[in-house]
Structure 1
Amino acid sequence: MDKIFAKLRNLDAYPKINEDFYSRTLSGGIITIVSSVIMFILFVSELRLYLHAVTETKLVVDTSRGETLRINFDITFPALSCSILSLDAMDISGEEHLDIKHDIVKKRIDAHGNVIEARQDGIGAPKMEKPLQKHGGRLEHNETYCGSCYGAEVSDDDCCNSCEEVREAYRKKGWGLSNPDLIDQCKREGFLQRIKDEEGEGCNIYGFLEVNKVAGNFHFAPGKSFHQSNMHVHDLLPFQKDSFNISHRINRLAFGEYFPGAINPLDGVQWVQQTPYGMYQYFIKVVPTVYTDISGRTIQSNQFSVTEHYRGDDNGRIQALPGVFFFYDLSPIKVTFMEQHVSFLHFLTNVCAIVGGIFTVSGIFDSFVYHSQRAIKKKMEIGKFS
């Protein structure tokens, strides 16, 4: 049996150092304490990473089809009143949404930014009493109202019962409404008077758009839009103004839902117009993003980057439609974020690496300090006897 144990001792790959060769020093104790503190700090840091989820990022090709894109916005125009501000959206597929009113709220604000009135766009038009009928007479008690469209009727049965409906009929015809006071509906509703009453006010407009997931644009501009000679134009004549100040502040602009770590680069951006006319353009690159949290809940959203451009007037001539335009295009690459826990084996490997690394480095440093001290001590002793 003793021979067997002797052979096993010969196989020991970790020979023991005789205790006579150990030397305890002050520097060694200090290095041991410092190494232990560093080891503890790194262990705690690694433990926190293990207990908390980490986010893994991947880039994949976006193969989604037939989806819609939700655009959330909140923009303030301090020098453009709500009565003249409109929102249009269009994309490269040919789909257009002009003078959008659904899911939109407008707030009238004064020069100091205080809210005067807030209401959903398109709601709250004045009610008319005894308006002019299509045949020319005034509305009688038992008669159904059918107002004239002033030449913009598509058929004999068409009726325009409000100023907005007359303007819409003109828009479909590609006509501009030059003098609203000549339109009975607009005159009785006080269309021009409302514009005068809101002179000097600003407008905060917020809401969301649901658009096709293709390249397109949406813009905020004064006047009702229509097509004329295959061009997208806005009817600015009724407002009887020489210039429009499109200074604006973007309180929020996001493409899709919020997800942890999302950064919208246009939030809080402000721009002040210095010239009488101008068009401000934002060119946006939208990157589809999927975020999956630790519980498995998936958020379909988007990130975006943006560049800006301003087109001003040239010698007092309008070169472009005044307004704020957002042109967006979609990236074919999708970013996926996935929260997940670090495996226990990975955690254990890192802890072993920390312990082994600190022991190795501290051992080398301790050996260097110890031999340096001995060398210095010997030189001092030689100096005394010489």
Structure 2
Amino acid sequence: MGVKQVLRAMDAFPRAEEHLLQKTKSGAFVSIVGLVIMSTLFLHELSYYLNTITVHQMAVDLRRGETLPIHINMTFPSLPCDVLSVDAIDMSGKHEVDLDTNIWKLRLNSDGHITGTEYLSDLVEKEHKHDDHKDHHDDSDNKTHMQGFDQDAENLIKKVKQALAHGEGCRVYGVLDVQRVAGNFHISVHGLNIFVAQKIFGGTTHVNVSHIIHDLSFGPKYPGGHNPLDGTERILRGASGTFKYYIKV
């Protein structure tokens, strides 16, 4: 046996015989079915690889003493920043004391463009005083009303009236850290002295609390998460009112 014959015998890919190279209808059918099956399996695996699967799991939170971040991003097109304040109350009915805040107020002109910023280092009210302190506070307010406003109150009234005349609004955004207990928070004009508010708005029916909720979420941000109040708009036309939202977290 020569060298060429030995090498030919070692060929791992011998040429197919002539009868195996003939094309038939049955062979074409098998080829088409095989291509369809392979394409289907490939597309299925590719879709499974590209899609994100979200798994919901419920567990008991055993952590204690930690706070819950509330992400706020809201626009009040008809209320200046000087009259807006934020208050948080826990399940016992007491206002939180020394609550950590990281909130900004952005002044908006009549077109909705930002004209200035203000950082709120103390947005929450302190604990309620006892009834005798409250009576003393009411007497002080009445005395202030009888004797006239001080210079700071007069400046605030003048500033807010000018802002209302120019159609200024306010955008409140940031993070509010609260205890992990049932409670509520609200954004309103309750921080104003009642007589100052009366002087500015001339009555509760003139307080336009129209607002747009761009983002209101609880806890760390989660990719792809949807918050039910995002994009909510409540616009009042020549009226006033109070809006309440109830959310279980």
* Fold match by TM threshold 0.5: yes
Change (3 A) 1:205 1:179: farther
Report the TM-score, using the length of structure 2 for normalisation.
0.69
Which of 219, 231, 237 is the equivalent residue of 1:268? 231
In structure 2, the residue matched to 1:237 is: 198
Structure-1 separation of matches of 2:201 and 2:178: 33
> Is the Cα–Cα contact under 8 Å of residues 100 and 176 in structure 2 kept in the other structure?
no
Q: Deviations over 1:147-178 (max 9, x none)?
A: xxxxxxx9xxxxxxxxxxxxxx9899356476
Change (3 A) 1:42 1:73: same
In structure 2, the residue matched to 1:193 is: 158
In structure 2, the residue matched to 1:220 is: 187
Correspondence 1:1-386 to 2 at 5 A: 26=25, 29-43=28-42, 45-46=44-45, 49=48, 55-97=54-96, 102-121=101-120, 173-174=137-138, 176=141, 179=145, 182-186=148-152, 190-199=155-164, 200-224=167-191, 236-242=197-203, 243-274=206-237, 276-286=239-249
Structure 2 unaligned blocks of 5 or more: 1-22, 123-128
CA deviation after TM superposition for structure 1 residue 120, in Å: 1.3
CA deviation after TM superposition for structure 1 residue 235, in Å: 7.3
Q: Amino acid of the residue matched to residue 261 of structure 1?
A: G
Structure-2 separation of matches of 1:180 and 1:267: 45
Structure-2 separation of matches of 1:102 and 1:210: 6
Moved more, 25-34 or 196-205: 25-34
> Is the Cα–Cα contact under 8 Å of residues 171 and 225 in structure 1 kept in the other structure?
no
Structure-1 separation of matches of 2:198 and 2:100: 21
Structure 1 unaligned blocks of 5 or more: 1-23, 124-153, 155-168, 227-232, 287-386
For the residue of structure 2 that corresponds to 1:284, the secondary structure is: coil
Change (3 A) 1:51 1:117: closer
CA deviation after TM superposition for structure 1 residue 211, in Å: 0.5
Q: Which has the higher contact order (CA 8 A, sep 6+)?
A: 2
Report the TM-score, using the length of structure 1 for normalisation.
0.46
Structure-2 separation of matches of 1:38 and 1:68: 54
Q: Amino acid of the residue matched to residue 190 of structure 1?
A: N
Structure (1/2) with the larger strand percentage: 1
> Is the Cα–Cα contact under 8 Å of residues 213 and 233 in structure 2 kept in the other structure?
yes
Q: Which has the larger radius of gyration?
A: 1
Q: Deviations over 1:273-308 (max 9, x none)?
A: 24622111111111xxxxxxxxxxxxxxxxxxxxxx
In structure 1, the residue matched to 2:3 is: none
Change (3 A) 1:61 1:201: same
